[in-house]
């Protein structure tokens, strides 16, 4: 599957605003798909981080007062964490918001497609960059749903080398597998 087919499958309307309630912290991430043989960029967070330490995630973070909306947040955080400058017009769509189960975040995931990425520059929130071949990665989907325990729904996992990707990031990846019809 090439970048153009992926672009056609995941392009969607962008609405970068979520209503805030007192029980959740608003944040956003940017899912970057790139290269002729499509790859997806993820980061490994340092184990010392207060929230989600040691986890594999997408670049992103909490909205700040300087951000006009959650798309600004995703673009700013991506630049801070990776050194990549993304323009709003590079963003082709978004996924449904995903809530973290323990830390109280509601995350709005945006998607952009780039031909190439280079010169990644990590900040203190990045331990390692993972450039993962997209389709083989999405095919590692493990559905850990347990219908007898309804308190936790949509529990998925993906694997890349020695890394297990789970939680909110896996729920975002599951949305992508559905859009591009992997494992159906």
pLDDT of residue 142: 87
At residue 78, the pLDDT reads 97
Tens digit of each residue's pLDDT (9 = 90 or more) over 112-130: 999 999 899 999 999 999 9
Note whether 165 and 144 are within 8 A (CB).
Answer: no
Q: Would you call 47 exposed, middle or buried from its count of C-beta atoms within 10 A (0-12, 13-18, 19+)?
A: exposed
Encode pLDDT of 24-83 as tens digits: 889 999 999 999 999 999 999 988 877 667 889 999 999 999 999 999 999 999 999 999
Q: Which domains does the chain have, with CATH numbers?
A: 3-139 (3.90.79.10)
Q: What is the pLDDT of residue 183?
A: 55
* Residue 139, Ramachandran bin (φ over 0: left; ψ between -120 and 50: alpha; else beta): alpha
Buried b (16+ CB within 10 A) or exposed e, 156-167: bbbebeeeebbb
């Amino acid at each position: 599957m090439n970048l153009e087919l992926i672009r056609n499958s995941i392009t969607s309307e962008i609405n970068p605003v979520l209503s805030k309630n007192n029980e959740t912290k608003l944040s956003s991430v940017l899912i970057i798909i790139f290269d002729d043989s499509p790859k997806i960029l993820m980061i490994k967070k340092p184990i010392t981080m207060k929230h989600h330490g040691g986890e594999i995630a997408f670049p992103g973070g909490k909205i700040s007062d300087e951000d006009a909306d959650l798309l600004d947040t995703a673009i700013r955080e991506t630049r801070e964490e990776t050194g990549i400058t993304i323009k709003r017009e590079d963003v082709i769509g978004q996924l449904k918001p995903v809530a973290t189960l323990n830390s109280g975040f509601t995350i709005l995931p945006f998607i952009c497609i780039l031909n190439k990425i280079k010169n990644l520059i990590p900040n203190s929130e990045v331990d390692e960059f993972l450039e993962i071949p997209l389709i083989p990665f999405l095919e590692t989907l493990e559905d850990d749903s347990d219908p007898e325990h309804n308190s936790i729904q949509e529990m998925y996992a993906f694997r890349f080398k020695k890394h297990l990707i789970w939680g909110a990031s896996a729920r975002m990846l599951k949305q992508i597998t559905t859009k591009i019809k992997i494992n159906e």
